[in-house]
Amino acid sequence: MRRLPWPTVEFVFDGVAYKFGTGFGAQLTSLEWRRPPAGTRRRLALWYGPYYDITIFQTYRQGMRIRCDWTIHLTGSTDEQLAQVRDLRKFLQDIV
């Protein structure tokens, strides 16, 4: 079994299980029973810390469920965007 170069971060938010992983522009993945409509936005916000707005990136069927790839809204230069993705990963690792 191949090991990932970064630790896997999995968490449940509002009853939906998410998994953090970077690839092809998507930062989060979830498995859901129903396909969210295109353009669906969600806000990951806890009682403390920052909040992140995420938008559906792509969906496809995986067995009986729908795999949804989500991307966070990034602002600023490329270096600032990469820093935002690293901050999200660190934030999720700290709360899990």
- Consecutive H or E run containing 83: helix 78-95
**CA 15, 17, 22, 23 torsion-angle sign:** negative
Residue 1 lies inside a defined structural domain of this protein: no
What is each CA distance from 79 to 21, 74, 75, 76, 93, in whole angstroms? 18, 11, 10, 8, 21
Residue 84 lies inside a defined structural domain of this protein: yes
What is each CA distance from 72 to 9, 51, 62, 75, in whole angstroms? 16, 10, 22, 10
Residue 68 lies inside a defined structural domain of this protein: yes
**Which pTM value belongs to this model?**
0.74
Number of domains in the chain: 1
How would you classify residue 39: left for phi > 0, otherwise alpha for psi between -120 and 50, otherwise beta? Answer: left
Residue 4 lies inside a defined structural domain of this protein: no
Residue 47 lies inside a defined structural domain of this protein: yes
Q: What is the pLDDT of residue 72?
A: 85
Residue 2 lies inside a defined structural domain of this protein: no
> What is the average pLDDT score of the chain?
80
Question: In which domain, by residue range, is 51 found?
Answer: 9-95
User: What CA–CA distance (Å, rounded) separates 86 from 88?
Assistant: 5
Q: Is the pLDDT of residue 1 over 50?
A: no
Residue 91 lies inside a defined structural domain of this protein: yes
For residue range 35-78, list pLDDT tens digits in order: 999 889 988 876 777 788 889 988 999 899 999 988 888 888 98
Residue 40 lies inside a defined structural domain of this protein: yes
